[in-house]
Amino acid sequence: MARLLKHMHWAAYDVLWLATFVDLDAVPENDESTKLAMNTLSDTYFGVTGWTKLDENGDRVHWDYDIWAISENNGNYDLSKTLYFIVVH
């Protein structure tokens, strides 16, 4: 569990930096400018979790996805990986 949370912190770090760069690059109060800045900057930003390029759905292109389940057992909660998607290009 600690390893999972540590990786989430790394992803949050990249999100914060990318959002900062988008905010600095985009025209204020202009959604189209924000979308353009997000697409342009995410295509070229390499953070601690790797490349941040996004696909047409807004998902990271270079990223594998895990699906996790939370189950309750006698008042304790367990986190278990139920599915793993590998993105193939």
Token pair for residue 9? Answer: 């912190």
Task: Choose the weakest-confidence range: 12-21, 35-44, 67-76.
Answer: 67-76
Q: What's the average model confidence in pLDDT over 10-24?
A: 93
Per-residue confidence at 24, pLDDT binned at 50, 70, 90?
very high
Residues 87/63, Cβ–Cβ less than 8 Å: yes
CB-hemisphere CA count at 13 Å for 88? 2
Classify 71 as helix, strand or coil: strand
Number of alpha carbons in the 13 Å side-chain half-sphere of residue 12: 6
Residue 26: its pLDDT value, please?
96
Please state the pTM of the whole predicted model: 0.63
Domain total in the chain? 1
What is the domain extent for residue 77?
2-85
Pairing mode of beta strands 50-51, 46-47: antiparallel
- Distance, in Å, from the CA atom of 62 to the CA atom of 49, rounded to the nearest integer, reads 10
